[in-house]
Amino acid sequence: MMDHPTFERENQERVQAVENSFHQAGKPLCKPGRILIGEGTVLKQGRKKIQQKIFFLFTDILVYGSIVVPGRWYKKQKIIPLEDIELEDLEDSDIFKHQWLIRTPRKSFFVSAPSSEEKKAWIEHINECRSSLMQGTSRKPSKKFAVSWIPDQAACKCMRCLTTKFGPANRRHHCRNCGFLVCNSCSKQRAVISHIHPTKKLRICSFCYKYINEEKFRNRGDSAGKSSSEEDELCPSGEENEEVQEGGIGIYSPSNWLDTKNGTWERLSIYDYPKPVPSQ
């Protein structure tokens, strides 16, 4: 099926359509041998709120972005190589149903499908594509992954000192090493977290700073590592502010999946996803 001229032409048209939907803000997606496996909308837990995102699964990458016009226009394209992905199935919570965790070296986040069938389809297809990609290639899977950030609404006080209350005068910050919500006084230190960024010093809490320095001492026999005063208000992928500025949960459209036997598309249409409870 994969070598059939008709399928190759139709697949190229589908990949080109996805590339065009991100307009000039997106990176090129057309590549020899790359096949579009599936597409659909899911909910993504952001720093401040839950948002609807468009996801595209290819044979070697996972692409997602913000929805401007459903089916026609997306922006803030993110591309994740499948070898950098690790999935964890999760139980339902009171607010987030049919959820799972996507781990990557630079950023980890919770996502939710509109039904248990859609969740199963996403997890199975991503794992199958990743396994196929890793077989018989020199690609090596990532061994270190970024922690998932605790949502802003989950804590009203600093999770380290347990005294500072968050508010207009005391902003919430995320430790890039543990994902905790911390105050400025408890997160003045900076350190390089190599799997997130090879050289940039990122905001970390005082507890993690002490732990990282102790690890350096044990591994290298010294206490190297200096604090940096530079501000790092944005996360490495530039999404910390994105989740604040953009929002909205639109209308779900069923996900589409490639039938690898005949090269046609199949659609899931079972939905039981409740609307998320807005944060106070």
**Quick one: pLDDT at residue 240?**
42
Give the residue, 225 or 84, on which the prediction is more confident.
Answer: 84
Going from the C-alpha of 44 to that of each of 47, 169, 248, the distances in angstroms are 10, 28, 11
pLDDT bucket at 101, cuts 50 / 70 / 90? very high
Give the residue, 198 or 121, on which the prediction is more confident.
Answer: 121
Q: Is the pLDDT of residue 136 over 60?
A: yes
What would the mean pLDDT of 223-248 be, rounded to a whole number?
Answer: 38
Please, what are the domains in the chain? 5-144+247-267 (2.30.29.30), 154-220 (3.30.40.10)
What would the mean pLDDT of 24-33 be, rounded to a whole number?
Answer: 92
Going from the C-alpha of 90 to that of each of 19, 87, 123, 147, 218, the distances in angstroms are 31, 10, 11, 15, 35
d(CA 158, CA 266): 47
pLDDT bucket at 268, cuts 50 / 70 / 90? low
| Model pLDDT for residues 166-219, shown as the tens digit of each residue | 999 999 999 988 889 999 999 999 988 887 888 889 999 999 988 888 777 666
d(CA 30, CA 14): 10
What is the percent of the chain with per-residue pLDDT over 90, rounded to a whole number? Answer: 48
| Model pLDDT for residues 40-91, shown as the tens digit of each residue | 999 998 877 889 999 999 999 999 999 999 888 999 999 999 999 999 999 8
* 131 contacts 86 by C-beta, under 8 angstroms: no
The neighbour count for residue 69, using CB atoms within 10 Å, is 9
In eight-state DSSP terms, residue 20 is H
Q: Where are the beta strands (DSSP E) in the chain?
A: 36-45, 50-58, 61-69, 73-81, 86-89, 99-103, 109-112, 173-174, 181-182, 189-192, 201-204, 256-258, 265-267
* 273 contacts 118 by C-beta, under 8 angstroms: no
Among positive and negative, which fits the CA dihedral 225, 230, 233, 234?
Answer: negative
| The model scores a pTM over 0.85 | no
